[in-house]
A and B are shown apart, each in its own frame.
Chain A
Amino acid sequence: MLAPINESVMITEIALDDFLPIFISSSLVLVFGAVYAIVFTFVKVGALKPWLMPFGYLGWVLTAYCLYLMGSLMHVGEFTQKALIVTMIGYLFLPHAIYYMVDKVHQENEH
């Protein structure tokens, strides 16, 4: 076993059985994150039907869950926990903000 590192960031070693869930959940963080961004953007530009929008937000919920699972299994420190929570809240608004800015620029150029 690796020697324990007694620092606030590295609290506990990772259990052997937890590596696979960590790698899968961290991948799914970005996969579901992309689903949220893609569905949101496509519904907004009219490439997907509006009733699909809840599936986009479901993507964000799953992203948040996978990030929580990943962080828990990794035993991340207090600072990283806070950083991940802020990141997830920020990510909920990010596609909205980017779309708003792009759409405004588009409208300015069309009208």
Chain B
Amino acid sequence: MASNHLTGVGSESKQLATWYFTFAAIIFGAQLVFGVVAAIQYVMPGFLFEIVDFSVARMIHINALVVWMVFAMFGAVYWLLPDETGIETVGIKIGKLLFWVFAAAIVVVVLVYLLVQVGPATESTIWLIHEGREYIEAPRWADFGIVVVALGFVFNLFATGMKGKQTGIITVLMADMLAFAGLYLAGMFFTDNISVDQFWWWWVIHLWVEATWEVYVGSLAAYGLITMIGAHRKTVEMWLWIEVAMLFGSGILGLGHHYFWIGTPEYWWEIGALFSALEPLPLVAMFIHVLYDWGKTQGAETEKGNPASVIKNKPAFTWFVLNAFGNFLGAGIWGFFHTLPQVNLYTHGTQFTSAHGHLAFFGAYATILIGMMYLAVQGTNGIKVLKSTKSSLAATWMITGGVMGMGIALTIAGYVQVLVSRAQMGATWAGYFDGQSGMWFSQAMDWRLFMGVITLIGFVFLAKDLLSIGKATHHER
């Protein structure tokens, strides 16, 4: 049955979305726990030694990051499909079956990471334990499972999009999710040349996070602005097309900034420099987009003599605004810091990269996906205007402050590495250790741990809020 975001009850697609969001939230929690374990190991290297070594904790931390975001992304699409197309998702039973297949596969993969950890470095390791490619380390059997799940998801999206109403948001999502799923194939085959392997691996990671995922975020922002503040669809969708053009225009060849030092031809320096310099522009455009629609819609209502806020879901809108700001800050500023080859020669592989990774993944993706979870809470509880609670505010401040704090601490650590390990000691083995043993680096790692714990506490508030905010009595129903 057709539905809208305020009446999610009764839609099987929206029910499936809540399953995806729930599993995503659990994996999000696991990501933070193993992040804190890895952060402790920087401060106390013997912590969980030979039980959960740093390599294992880090692997789970960054793979869980990707997995929870993919789950939340699938969930968000299942949530908005009935609203956008005006019909129930086609093939929803397949979608539900594939959810359980996907979730079960992830549980098995994580258990293998934890209990088996390493293999004999033969072909069987790639098939059964993990592939050793950062962020997408799932063993090959799981790769094939993920492909099947992704195909089912793309089928649901395309079949529904073609049968129902084809809005601009759905059209963009159909093209984008096909590319999103297809790019995963580039990370599935094995080559015995590390440069060739990295060349293709970056197709998955870069073209996900700086092209297809950003376009996906643009689509979600468009949907959010329409549902939360009543922004005009035609305006919002025109923005979306501009963003798509800008994101793909700069993001695809921005891939060059990952090809500076992996053995690829040197013309990538200039291609990477040029298109990387352009990459912040769409993020500025997305920022203006949110401000424009918010300002115009609120202004129009005020002119009509209705000064009340136009925002129908305060916590979700807060996370959407944080997304516009965080995307610009984490992906834009922290990316631009070290994107030109002249300076990337010194910063590459230092904690600068880690700082950028933390701020960009959080700012560009975690924020808007958390916002979508709040939209789902509003819909499943039939709330007209969802207002924040103390837990919403605590979660927002602690998670945002914690990630910002980690980003700053890691930036300081990275700066020490740039000066000591790279500029002074020339990227030597001794330089690597000298850089890590200095006071500034050590203290930065202490602060990173502290801020990581703050983030984890913030997550506890978030989980509590998502489970309880729908029952609060101060909302407009």
CB distance B295 to A42 under 8 Å?
A: yes
**Among A1, A3, A14, A101, which residue has its beta carbon within 8 angstroms of that of B343?**
A14
Beta-carbon contacts under 8 Å, A12-55 to B? 14, 16, 19-20, 22-23, 26-27, 29-31, 33-34, 37-38, 41-42, 45-47
Contacts of B167 in A (CB 8 A): none
Kindly provide the distance from the CB of A33 to the nearest chain B CB, expressed in whole angstroms: 6
- Chain B: interface secondary structure? helix
CB distance B270 to A80 under 8 Å?
A: yes
**Distance A25 CA – B423 CA, assembled complex (angstroms):** 19
**Among A7, A22, A74, A80, which residue has its beta carbon within 8 angstroms of that of B274?**
A80
B260-281 interface mask toward A, CB cutoff 8 Å, 1 = contact, 0 = none?
0000001001100110011011
CB distance B292 to A45 under 8 Å?
A: yes
Instruction: Given A10-B345, A14-B342, A41-B291, verify A106-B270 contact (CB < 8 Å).
Output: no
Kindly provide the distance from the CB of A90 to the nearest chain B CB, expressed in whole angstroms: 8
**Distance A45 CA – B61 CA, assembled complex (angstroms):** 43
Query: How many residues on the A side are at the interface (Cβ–Cβ under 8 A)?
Result: 47
**Distance A22 CA – B347 CA, assembled complex (angstroms):** 12
Beta-carbon contacts under 8 Å, A74-99 to B? 74-77, 79-80, 83-84, 87, 91, 94-95, 98-99
CB distance A9 to B269 under 8 Å?
A: yes
Beta-carbon contacts under 8 Å, B447-474 to A? none
Contacts of B422 in A (CB 8 A): 2
Q: Which residue of B lies closest to A104 (CB)?
A: B238
Contacts of B345 in A (CB 8 A): 2, 5, 10
**Distance A22 CA – B278 CA, assembled complex (angstroms):** 18
Beta-carbon contacts under 8 Å, A52-68 to B? none
Contacts of A23 in B (CB 8 A): 337, 415
B284 near A: Cβ within 8 Å? yes
CB distance A98 to B287 under 8 Å?
A: no
CB distance B343 to A102 under 8 Å?
A: no
CB distance B336 to A74 under 8 Å?
A: no
CB distance B288 to A74 under 8 Å?
A: no
- Chain A: interface secondary structure? helix
CB distance A105 to B234 under 8 Å?
A: yes
**Among B238, B299, B342, which residue has its beta carbon within 8 angstroms of that of A9?**
B342
B373 near A: Cβ within 8 Å? no
CB distance A102 to B238 under 8 Å?
A: yes
Q: Which residue of B lies closest to A97 (CB)?
A: B242
CB distance B427 to A80 under 8 Å?
A: no
Q: Which residue of B lies closest to A88 (CB)?
A: B277
Q: Which residue of B lies closest to A16 (CB)?
A: B423
Contacts of B333 in A (CB 8 A): 27, 30-31
Beta-carbon contacts under 8 Å, B202-235 to A? 232, 234-235
Pick the most buried of A7, A80, A95, A99: most chain B CB atoms within 10 A of its CB. Answer: A80
Kindly provide the distance from the CB of A84 to the nearest chain B CB, expressed in whole angstroms: 6
Contacts of B284 in A (CB 8 A): 30, 33-34, 37, 94
**Distance A31 CA – B332 CA, assembled complex (angstroms):** 10
Instruction: Given A16-B424, A108-B234, A109-B234, verify A98-B288 contact (CB < 8 Å).
Output: yes
**Distance A31 CA – B419 CA, assembled complex (angstroms):** 24
Contacts of A99 in B (CB 8 A): 288, 292
CB distance A84 to B342 under 8 Å?
A: no
CB distance B287 to A9 under 8 Å?
A: no
Q: 11 A–B contact pairs at CB < 8 A?
A: A2-B422, A19-B346, A27-B336, A41-B291, A41-B295, A75-B342, A83-B273, A94-B281, A98-B288, A101-B238, A101-B242
Can you add 9 more A-B contacts, CB < 8 Å, to A30-B336, A102-B238, A102-B292? A1-B423, A9-B270, A19-B419, A38-B288, A76-B273, A77-B270, A80-B342, A105-B235, A109-B232
